[in-house]
Amino acid sequence: MPPLSGDYRPGESLKNGNFLIDSLPDRQRKGVLALCDRVDIALGTVLCEAGERFRHVYFPISGSVSLIQTLRGQEPLETESIGSEGMLGAVLVLDINRASKLGVVQAPCIALRMTDTGMRAALKSHPALLRVMQRYLYVVLLELSQNACCLHFHEVGNRLSKALLQAHDRSTTDQLSLTHQRLANMLGVQRGAVTIAAIKLQREGIIRYSRGKITVLDRKRLESSSCGCYNESLNNCPVMFS
């Protein structure tokens, strides 16, 4: 997911740190927060398994959670990344308590955690939460559609730049913990294709890559090298406030 409003980018300081909760009116925000625990979650922690019920939902404050689709005989594909602009477990809004994908922490997280029953109660008691979650789900659907078009029509190098921009949006520093294998899973390509594209960006002085770390050296040029889908993602978000 992209930033959801104005110049806000995931990772920036908010009232409590998660955009969805911070967008609520004061009284309803306090009611929702009363149902949450603040937790630190280590890299690699599995938060949900495909086909299993959610016992907790998570509103990230920092870090990111990847939703990963697996097919027999194929490499895993990251279909969505959730940061402080979103939540894990949004399907509870649809009265569905079943994860469709594997959810794994890909950057160490601080999150607000709520039980599944607490979330159901909050949706009934706090209409502003239901409203913002319905709009969040709509933006997610827009994003998935955009990503499908991007995967089909755009070059690996341009899509790599978009992925790095979105990771940079969620980071508090210019250094990103991203291996070529994870980037390949994000883009749905072979690792070698990522290596070729990353070398090109490095030679142009846009990024620096070393031992699973990518440092963004020139954000503006990285934006210029991305496909238009990055900005299209930003343009999807005003629907949250319509």
Question: Per-residue pLDDT tens for 75-126?
Answer: 889 999 999 989 999 999 999 999 999 999 998 899 999 999 999 999 999 9
Amino acid at position 157, single letter: G
Q: How many residues does the chain have?
A: 242
Choose the CATH number for 1-126 among 3.30.70.270, 2.60.120.10, 1.10.8.10, 3.30.750.210. Answer: 2.60.120.10
Give residue 3's pLDDT band: very low, low, confident or very high (50, 70, 90): very low
**Is the pLDDT reported for residue 167 higher than 70?**
yes
Cut 0.75: pTM above it: yes
Q: Report the share of the chain in percent with pLDDT over 90.
A: 80
Token couple for 204: 């142009």
Same topology between domain 1-126 and domain 155-234: no
C-alpha dihedral (145, 115, 28, 128), degrees to nearest 10: 30
The DSSP output letter for 101 is S
State the average pLDDT over residues 161-177.
Answer: 92
Please report the pLDDT score of residue 4 as a whole number: 43
**Is the pLDDT reported for residue 200 higher than 90?**
yes
Please report the pLDDT score of residue 192 as a whole number: 95
pLDDT digits (tens, 9 = 90+) for 27-47: 999 999 999 999 999 999 999
SS3 155: coil
State the average pLDDT over residues 155-184.
Answer: 93
Please report the pLDDT score of residue 109 as a whole number: 92
Domain ranges of the chain: 1-126, 155-234
For 60-90, give the secondary structure using H, E and C.
EEEEEEEEEECCCCCCCEEEEEECCCCCECH
Please report the pLDDT score of residue 49 as a whole number: 97
Choose the CATH number for 155-234 among 3.10.450.750, 1.20.1050.10, 1.10.10.10, 3.90.1640.10. Answer: 1.10.10.10
Please report the pLDDT score of residue 171 as a whole number: 85
**Alpha-carbon distance 166 to 10, whole Å?**
9
SS3 175: strand
